[in-house]
Amino acid sequence: MPFTSVSDVPKGLVSIVIPALNEEKNIGKLIGEVKRIMGGSPYEIVVVDGHSSDNTVGIARRMGASIIYDSVGKGSALITGLNAAKGEVIVSMDADLSNEPRELGLLIDGIRIGYDVCMGSRFMTGGNSEDISFVRKLGNRFFVMLVNVIFAGSYSDMCYGYRSFRRGVPRKMHLKEKGFGIETEINIKAMKMGLRVLEVPSVEKKRAAGDPKLRTFRDGYAILKTIIKNMG
């Protein structure tokens, strides 16, 4: 359901932005669960497809999602989706069933009670990850520590895509990272911009089907470069 002008947008609209690349085995179930959780409240689901070679788009469209395309990378897809979203609250979530739709309420409420960005955290009390490897957990710890020291933050997690934003906030961040550095760029910019940031616990499930697109060392290096680039 595309909204053509701001006056068309229903009050309290929530946008759920899902970057997806070859997720035909996951996307249908995810959209079904999101719709059930959102129930009668106004929402839109925006799938940002990276020109999948499988039937991701066909399934997502049949389930009622709006489809936009971005073939550059995960970050680039997320930026495209966040900028296209019309909601008062905008949620980003992965397509691989790692992010539980029943946590949506917590992320949405975080914005409704006054925060600008609300970030799911796997490593605060109540959070957990069933998906992260030991090496990636170690790398994440290191990057969290680095960002907290350099930018005076107190994050418990980074590099995690289950988040929510107040309308207008993603655009003001002028996001640039085209790959998996995007989550780190958001953490850093939220600090630098003095935004009101809330972390809420999140349990990351194992990717349900298909292959992970993140490559630990290639993308770890990209995250490090993101931190350095944003130091100025």
Ligand X SMILES: Nc1nc2c(ncn2[C@@H]2O[C@H](COP(=O)(O)OP(=O)(O)O)[C@@H](O)[C@H]2O)c(=O)[nH]1
CA of residue 47 relative to chain centroid, distance: 12
> Is 105 one of the binding residues for ligand X (CB under 6 A)?
no
Q: Quick one: which of 165, 187, 207, 220 contacts ligand X (CB under 6 A)?
A: 207
Q: Quick one: which of 21, 34, 45, 144 contacts ligand X (CB under 6 A)?
A: 21
> Is 197 one of the binding residues for ligand X (CB under 6 A)?
no
Tokens in use for 142? 């290191």
- Residues with Cβ within 8 Å of 215's Cβ and at least 6 positions away in sequence, in order, are none
**Count residues contacting Mg ion (CB under 5 A)?**
4
Q: Quick one: which of 19, 87, 127, 170 contacts ligand X (CB under 6 A)?
A: 19
Is residue 195 within 8 A of residue 116, CB to CB? The reply is: yes
> Is 121 one of the binding residues for ligand X (CB under 6 A)?
no
Q: Quick one: which of 80, 98, 129, 230 contacts Mg ion (CB under 5 A)?
A: 98
- Given the complex with ligand X, which of 105 and 212 has the nearer CB atom? 212
Q: Quick one: which of 24, 44, 88, 96 contacts ligand X (CB under 6 A)?
A: 96
Q: Quick one: which of 14, 15, 31, 49 contacts ligand X (CB under 6 A)?
A: 49
Place of tokens 């616990």: 201
| Separation CA 143–CA 147 (nearest Å) | 6
Applying CB under 5 A, the span of 83-91, 94-102, 155-163, 181-189 interacting with Mg ion comes to 94-102
Residue positions counted in the chain: 232
CB of 10 to Mg ion, least distance (A): 31
- Residues with Cβ within 8 Å of 229's Cβ and at least 6 positions away in sequence, in order, are none
CB of 97 to ligand X, least distance (A): 9
| 3-class secondary structure, 226 | helix
Q: Of 98, 87, 10, 93, nearest to 48 (Cα)?
A: 93
Q: Quick one: which of 142, 212, 221, 228 contacts ligand X (CB under 6 A)?
A: 212
| Separation CA 147–CA 144 (nearest Å) | 5
Q: Of 134, 156, 137, 135, nearest to 145 (Cα)?
A: 156
Give residues in contact with ligand X (CB under 6 A).
Answer: 19-21, 23, 48-50, 70, 73-74, 77, 94-96, 98, 207, 212-214
